[in-house]
């Protein structure tokens, strides 16, 4: 990990290397009690760094290359967290993990392992004590999943064409699957409840771009076509 002065481009710090491959997941700021860390990933490890210095406070080896035939660099999902718990998921039938940071902020331990909620590259959303998203069955298939954050219990695993990306606004989930279908979904742990849906017919190529919501509008890109939808009531 490296940090630069945003005004000059001068190197501010460079962290110690743990030797893992690069990965795709974005770094994020993690704050809990009096602790403030950068959470970043390499191909094998989740790393917690002090923002001012780049010092590594702790690391957690999530990927064991000896037990998996995929390269770690495909890890795309930014960790999801609340309080002292952090959820990691990578797709490709690799186990998801819930870990917990120690009270002194210097280490983490495993809380539970999950074999169902292996999100591919679409991200997951935590809302009212439940995680929502899709899982991976193969590169073309996946189901939609809800998990109890505290216990790891899978509340549902429902089909809706295939896996896809999800964002949230005003208490509703906006889902965009890899077959080009878009749905408004009620975040209900009892089932994947579609309120309405429509099909993206413009653009070409994979439906992989994630939706983005701001100012009452949802932006969707498919290939070289950008569509903007008014979702404000």
- Predicted structure pTM score: 0.94
How buried is residue 23: exposed, middle or buried, by Cβ count under 10 Å (0-12/13-18/19+)? buried
Complete DSSP assignment for 106-150 = S-EEEEEEESS----SS--EEETTEEEEE--SBTTB--EEEEETT
b/e string for 150-173 if b means 16 or more Cβ within 10 A? Answer: eebebbbbeebbbbbbbbbbeeeb
pLDDT in single tens digits along all 233 residues of the chain: 999 999 999 999 999 999 888 889 999 999 999 999 999 999 899 999 999 999 999 999 998 777 666 655 688 999 999 999 999 999 999 999 999 999 999 999 999 999 999 999 999 999 999 999 999 999 999 999 999 999 999 999 999 999 999 999 999 999 999 999 999 999 999 999 999 999 999 999 999 999 999 999 999 999 999 999 999 86
């Amino acid at each position: 990990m490296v940090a630069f002065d945003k005004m000059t481009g001068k190197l501010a710090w460079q962290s110690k290397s743990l030797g893992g491959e690069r990965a795709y997941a974005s770094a994020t700021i993690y704050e809990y009690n009096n602790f403030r860390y950068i959470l970043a990933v390499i191909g094998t490890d989740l790393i917690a760094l002090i923002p001012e210095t780049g010092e590594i406070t702790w690391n957690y080896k999530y990927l064991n290359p000896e037990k998996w035939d995929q390269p770690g660099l495909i890890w795309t999902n930014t960790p999801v967290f609340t309080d002292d718990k952090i959820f990691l998921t990578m797709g490709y039938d690799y186990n998801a993990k819930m870990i917990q940071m120690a009270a002194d902020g210097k280490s983490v331990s495993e809380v539970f392992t999950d074999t169902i909620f292996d999100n591919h590259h679409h991200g997951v959303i935590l809302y009212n004590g439940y995680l929502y998203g899709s899982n991976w069955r193969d590169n073309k298939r996946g189901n939609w999943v809800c998990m109890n954050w505290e216990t790891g219990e899978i509340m549902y695993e429902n089909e809706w064409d295939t896996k896809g990306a999800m964002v949230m606004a005003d208490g509703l989930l906006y889902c965009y699957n890899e077959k080009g279908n878009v749905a408004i979904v009620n975040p209900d742990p009892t089932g994947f409840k579609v309120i309405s849906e429509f099909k993206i017919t413009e653009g070409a190529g994979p439906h992989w771009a994630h939706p983005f919501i701001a100012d009452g509008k949802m932006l969707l890109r498919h290939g070289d076509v950008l569509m903007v939808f008014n979702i404000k009531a």
